Structures are given as C-alpha cells and as structure tokens.
C-alpha cells in the first residue's frame, strides 16, 4: 500500500531551473533571439533575430496590416495575437509603416502574412529556448 500523504517534493534546483526557463522564454519573446543568446546559442540567436527582423521589415515595407488591439472580429484578434508574437518588433513594424497598411493590393496581403509569420516564428523560437533552458535536448 502506498503512502499517498507523502507527496514527492520538488527539488529546489528544478524550481530554479523552471523559473530561469520562463525568464529565457519571456526574453526570447520580447527581443527575438535574446532567449538563445542568454543560453549562449549564438547561431540560433542570430538566426532568430535576422529571420524575424527580415519578415517584419518586408511585411511592413509591403504595407501589410499591423493589427491593433481595436479588433473588429475574431480574425482581427487572432491577427493581433500573431503580430504581438514578434515582441518589440511589433512596434518596429508599426513605426515602419508610416503610410499605414494597404491591403487593396496583393503586396499588402502578402505583407500581412509576413508579419503574422514573424510573430508565430518568434513564439516558436521562444518556446524552443524555453525547452533548451529546461534541459531538454535542443
């Protein structure tokens, strides 16, 4: 018969590592590549920074739609969440788009996809950094 009252204790080291991993994930989300940089994964850090940066730059330059919190429907909300995934680069995209979005042309539509892809890619990279910080094989 097992003793159910004796719950397994979480080692202190594991708790610290989990907190550290969360900090890495948030850092990676705020600044693309920073999570990997803090883990000294320089190649991945540079790749994340450049790929997310390129997608944001081209997306904004093609006058894609940078969604705001004033969503009209669920799709706008999803677009906003995807765009926010780029962290600070979301605000870079907004700053770059001085003329505002123009989705009446195909370019603007492609730009919208580029911006959303940048956000989702950065979230994926942040998740990867989180798993790496937890000690999972990465």
Partner 1 sequence: MSAAIGFSLSHLQAMLLFALVISIAFGFLSRRQPVERVKYIVWSLFLFL
Query: For residues 122 and 85, is the Cβ–Cβ distance under 8 A?
Result: yes
Residue 15 vs 95, nearer CB to partner 1: 95
Quote the least distance from Cβ 62 to partner 1, whole Å.
5
Q: Footprint of partner 1 on this chain (CB under 8 A)?
A: 43-44, 47-48, 51-52, 54-55, 58, 60-63, 96-99, 106-107, 110, 113-114, 117, 121, 124-125, 128
3-state secondary structure 54-116: HHHHHHHHCCCCCCCCCCCCHHHHHHHHHHHCCCHHHHHHHHHCCCCCCCCCHHHHHHHHHHH
Residue 77 vs 122, nearer CB to partner 1: 122
Query: For residues 25 and 129, is the Cβ–Cβ distance under 8 A?
Result: yes
Quote the least distance from Cβ 86 to partner 1, whole Å.
13
Quote the least distance from Cβ 10 to partner 1, whole Å.
29
Dist CA 16 CA 106 (whole Å): 48
Eight-class DSSP state of 31: S
Residue 2 vs 104, nearer CB to partner 1: 104
Quote the least distance from Cβ 14 to partner 1, whole Å.
25
Residue 83 vs 97, nearer CB to partner 1: 97
């Amino acid at each position: 018969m097992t003793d159910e009252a004796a719950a397994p204790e979480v080692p202190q080291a594991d708790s610290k590592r989990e907190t550290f991993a969360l900090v890495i994930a948030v850092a990676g989300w705020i600044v693309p590549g920073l999570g990997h940089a803090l883990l000294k994964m320089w190649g991945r850090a540079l790749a994340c920074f450049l790929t997310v940066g390129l997608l944001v730059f081209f997306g904004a330059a093609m006058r894609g739609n940078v969604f705001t919190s004033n969503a009209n429907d669920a799709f706008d909300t999803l677009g906003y969440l995807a765009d926010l995934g780029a962290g600070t680069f979301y605000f870079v995209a907004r700053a770059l788009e001085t003329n505002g979005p123009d989705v009446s042309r195909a370019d603007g539509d492609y730009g919208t996809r580029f911006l959303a892809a940048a956000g989702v890619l950065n979230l994926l990279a942040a998740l990867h950094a989180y798993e790496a910080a937890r000690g999972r094989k990465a």
